[in-house]
Structure 1
Amino acid sequence: MMRKIGMICFAISLALISCNTNEEKTTLAPLKEGEDYLITISTRLGDMKAVLYDQTPQHKANFVKLASEGFFDDLLFHRIIKDFMIQGGDPDSRNAGPDKMLGGGSPGYNIPAEFNQDLIHEKGALSAARKGDRINPKKESNGSQFFIVQGTPFSREELAVQNTDIKSLFALFDSLVNMEQFNDLNAQYGELQMDGDREKLFKFIWEQKGTIEKQFGAELEKPMTEKQKSTYTSVGGYPSLDGEYTVFGKVVSGLEVIDKIADVATQPGDRPVEDVKMEVKVEVLSKKEIMDTYGVEY
């Protein structure tokens, strides 16, 4: 159960942020009824095909606009964390030297969050990067930076941990063990602290979750449908990002390319040792053709 706990900190710190240097502009004609966009993200490790969701119209229109202008071409996947995600779209990454700090670039604007409970961070999800809550309480998306989820399949127990407000769990546990009626728990907690085994300590606190929820009338675990649970335990992904970052699309072909990119050697700061450049193209096809070709409904 504990093998993915450490990745929670990455979910909290994912927030990053993004100027178009291309002069050539391309304007796509409005879609006709029944048409949609197929996105191709090409890299030296292969191509990924993706669709963009109608439920997130501002993110969809923005991504299509930038891609049709060539904004993303020659930008890097500048931040890669295996079993988590691959991130790119920072305009500062174009022709960036090996020592250049990346992750702070943008086209000069944000996009309002477009959360939808049916659009989740399953493997292959395209989601928008953003600045952290402290300076971005509305969780607005960066205008160009995005990440593609790799994640891994979770057991049901691991999924419950991922879907729980861990900060609140710890805070309420601290209040619990300071109550006189829970002196025995406090004594056990003290012994585990002396022992110094963090995994055992977390497991002990986790085992008190039911007691904590009953004592304080708290609901620490976010609701999740059976479909979501089934997806995260089979396909995999990263559920703790749901409701925190806007999912606006999905890779429908080339999931193995995500794995190849996630496997590259990285240096401190999670930038690949050897650059992984992208080229992003937009193609207009009938929605039926896209769904029939790639076996996807969206």
Structure 2
Amino acid sequence: MKKLFPLIITLLLFSCGSKTEQEIVNVNQQVKVFTTMGEFVIELSNKTPKHRDNFIQLVEKGAYDSIAFHRAIPKFIVQAGDMFSRMSPEEELELIKNEHTLPAEIDTSLFHKKGSLSMARIANIDLRSSGTHFTVQIGSVLSDSLLNGYEKSINRKRKLNYWLKMEQNQKVLNRYVEATQIGNWNNEIVSHLTDSILSIEGDPEGFNYYTIPQHQREFYKTEGGNAFLDQLYTVFGEVIQGMDVVEKISQVAVDEKDWPLEDVRILTMELIEK
């Protein structure tokens, strides 16, 4: 018994100080972002596994290393992930042809509060995300009046997408998709179709009106964010350290396309061990 006692103590200490596989899975992955203007840490949500895993794979491959922030807008967002910012024209064309997208993972508990991380996207009724472009929300403090207006705007866009995906509207959908192609955007047709659809009385059968949850309203009214993007883009994480660095990046001088006049680059990203 005397020989077994030290072994039992050792096993107990080991079991108390280590995490089980399930505990490790449940811990949200954190990523440290090193930029030319400082560092910040983001935490990825386990509620959006496809976006989480895609981002982790990009970090592991070094895909974001040396990428520039190509949009910097005070009280709105900073955006990065444009692989063109380090490519030749030939490489850009190849990437456009093969760029992957992700299925939407829109969760009502994840919203565009200040510091949240979401994927950008091009116009598409399935709300599929870009495979690489991400934004960090900054936004501003919002009033109830603004939030009420954003709620209506969100539902107008949701109603449009819902109506277009109804089987009996396939011909209209085809026209809409054709008019929203990259490099072929036809604003006149898009506006006409949108106005015609939204002028139809009542909501389509099965359409559920979205209401901004009260606790999210309170956050927007005190801390701020970009509520008008909710339910239209996938939020998949948030900044948990270094938000001051993000805000500093958003305030640099930019050109007419919101691209910083002096490059602000991601040096590298590192996964923080769980």
Q: TM-score, normalised by structure 2?
A: 0.67
**Could you tell me the percent identity over the aligned residues?**
32
Matched, 1:47 2:47: no
**Does the Cα contact within 8 Å between 2:118 and 2:235 map onto a contact in 1?**
yes
Equivalence map 1:1-298=2 (5 Å):
32-35=21-24, 36=27, 37-94=29-86, 108-132=99-123, 136-165=124-153, 222-278=210-266, 279-285=268-274
Change (3 A) 1:105 1:125: farther
The gaps in structure 1 that reach 5 residues or longer are 1-30, 170-215, 286-298
Change (3 A) 1:168 1:224: closer
**Does the Cα contact within 8 Å between 2:154 and 2:231 map onto a contact in 1?**
no
Matched residue SS, 2:139: coil
What letter corresponds to residue 109 of structure 1 in structure 2? H
> Residues 237-283 of structure 1, C-alpha deviation per residue, up to 9 Å, x if partnerless?
00110111100111011111121011000001110001110121111
**Larger helix proportion of the pair:** 2
Change (3 A) 1:246 1:32: same
Matched residue SS, 1:231: helix
Q: How many residues align?
A: 202
What letter corresponds to residue 115 of structure 1 in structure 2? I
> Residues 171-215 of structure 1, C-alpha deviation per residue, up to 9 Å, x if partnerless?
xxxxxxxxxxxxxxxxxxxxxxxxxxxxxxxxxxxxxxxxxxxxx
- Give the whole-Å Cα distance in 2 for the aligned partners of 1:277 and 1:231: 30
Matched residue SS, 2:220: helix
What letter corresponds to residue 49 of structure 1 in structure 2? V
2:177 alignment counterpart: none
Runs of 4+ in 1 over 4 A off after TM superposition: 104-107, 166-169, 216-221
The gaps in structure 2 that reach 5 residues or longer are 1-19, 158-200
Matched residue SS, 1:165: helix
Matched residue SS, 1:92: helix
Matched residue SS, 1:282: strand
Structure 1 residue 106: deviation in Å?
A: 8.6
1:13 alignment counterpart: none
